[in-house]
């Protein structure tokens, strides 16, 4: 089998690489036998049935049976359309609010920056 030989070669290459990197040749030994030379033995055992007398389990109350999940009936087509329109309108309101808050934040930041520049006075001359 070709794949077994390729696997064995890969394992040998990997061991050689590990040994070259770590420099420890004592701890890692290549296999003495190739896997093809190994034999597999199997032993079949017979098992005898043993009977054990045990006390009967205590009687417990019957468990309630699980009910199937109730799925609501499908909605009429018009209700789905109105729900989608309401969700889209709500989404647009949120986007407009976020944009308005961003604009307000930007304007406030620019106002603070301009005030800081105005209060600091003229800039010192730069050297070339």
**What are the structural domain ranges in the chain?**
78-119
| More confident: 35 or 101 | 101
Give the per-residue pLDDT at 106: 96
Q: How far apart are CA 105 and CA 110, in angstroms?
A: 9
Give the per-residue pLDDT at 75: 62
C-alpha distances (whole Å) from 21 to each of 14, 15, 30, 111 are 11, 10, 16, 63
Residue 15 clears pLDDT 70, i.e. is over it:
yes
Exposed e or buried b per residue across 79-102, where buried means at least 16 C-beta atoms within 10 angstroms of its C-beta: eeeeeeeeeeeeeeeeeeeeeeee
Residue with tokens 């309108």: 89
3-class state of residue 23 by DSSP: coil
Q: What is the pLDDT of residues 22-75, one digit of tens each?
A: 876 655 455 555 555 555 565 666 666 656 566 666 666 666 666 776 776 666
In the DSSP assignment, the letter for residue 32 is S
Give the per-residue pLDDT at 126: 77
- pLDDT classification of 87: cutoffs 50, 70, 90: very high
In the DSSP assignment, the letter for residue 4 is H
Give the per-residue pLDDT at 21: 85
Evaluate whether 19 touches 25 at the Cβ level (below 8 Å): yes
Give the per-residue pLDDT at 107: 96
Give the per-residue pLDDT at 80: 84
């Amino acid at each position: 089998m070709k794949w077994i030989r390729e696997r064995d070669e890969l394992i040998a290459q990997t061991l050689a690489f590990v040994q070259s990197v770590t420099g420890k040749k004592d701890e890692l030994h290549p296999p003495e036998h190739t896997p093809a030379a190994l034999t597999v033995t199997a032993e079949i055992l017979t098992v005898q049935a043993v009977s054990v007398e045990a006390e009967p389990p205590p009687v417990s109350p019957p468990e309630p049976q699980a009910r199937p999940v109730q799925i609501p009936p499908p909605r009429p087509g018009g209700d789905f359309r109105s729900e989608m329109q309401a969700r889209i309108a709500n989404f647009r309101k949120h986007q407009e609010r976020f944009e308005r808050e961003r604009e307000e934040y930007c304007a406030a930041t620019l106002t603070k920056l301009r005030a800081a520049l105005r209060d600091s006075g003229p800039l010192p001359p730069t050297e070339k």
